[in-house]
Structure 1
Amino acid sequence: MKKEIHPKYEDAKVICACGEVWEIKSTRPEIRVGICAKCHPFFTGKQKFVDTAGRVERFRQRYGAGKAAK
C-alpha cells in the first residue's frame, strides 16, 4: 500500500440535534446528525399515528363517495 495517500482515520464526534454526543472512527473530525436513537420517535415510543381513516372519510364527504366519471 502506498504511504500518505489515504485520509487519516481517527476518532470523531457525532453530535445529534437533541444534544446527544458519541464517538466513532471516521475520516472527518465531527459529524452532525438531525436525529438519533435517543430522540427518534420509533425508539422513544412516542410515535404519532396518522389518522388516515378520518382523512379518507373527509375526502369522500367533500368530493362524493365513488362517483363514476362518464
Structure 2
Amino acid sequence: MKKSIHPPYRPVVFRDGGTGKQFLTRSTVTSKQSVVWDDGNTYPLVVVDVTSDSHPFWTGASRVVDTAGRVEKFERRYGTRRPQGR
C-alpha cells in the first residue's frame, strides 16, 4: 500500500440503533461519538440502523404483506380481466 493515502484502519464499536447491541470490529469509518468498551479502552462509536441482530433475514421475523389490498386497488384502478372464450 502507498503511504499517507489510505485512512487509518482502527478498532471501532458499532451499535444497532434498534436493539442497542454493540460489537467491536475494525474499520476506517470516523465518528465524533465514543464509548468505553468492556476492556476499559475508549473507541469511536458508530450507530447503524440495521445489523444482523435486527435484520428480518437473520432474525427470522417475517413481514405481513397486504396482497389482498393490492389486488383490490389494482382492480379498482384498471378493472377486472375476464378470461376470453368463456
TM-score (norm 1): 0.66
1:45: which partner in 2? 60
4+ aligned runs moved over 4 Å, structure 1: none
1:32: which partner in 2? 47
1:59: which partner in 2? 74
CA root-mean-square deviation = 2.5
How many residues are paired up?
65
SS in 2 for 1:55: helix
Name the amino acid aligned to 1:12: V
Report the structure, 1 or 2, having the larger helix content: 1
Instruction: Could you tell me which runs of 5 or more consecutive residues in structure 1 were left unpaired when the two chains were aligned.
Output: none
Q: What is the CA–CA distance in structure 2 between the aligned matches of 1:7 and 1:54, rounded to whole Å?
A: 50
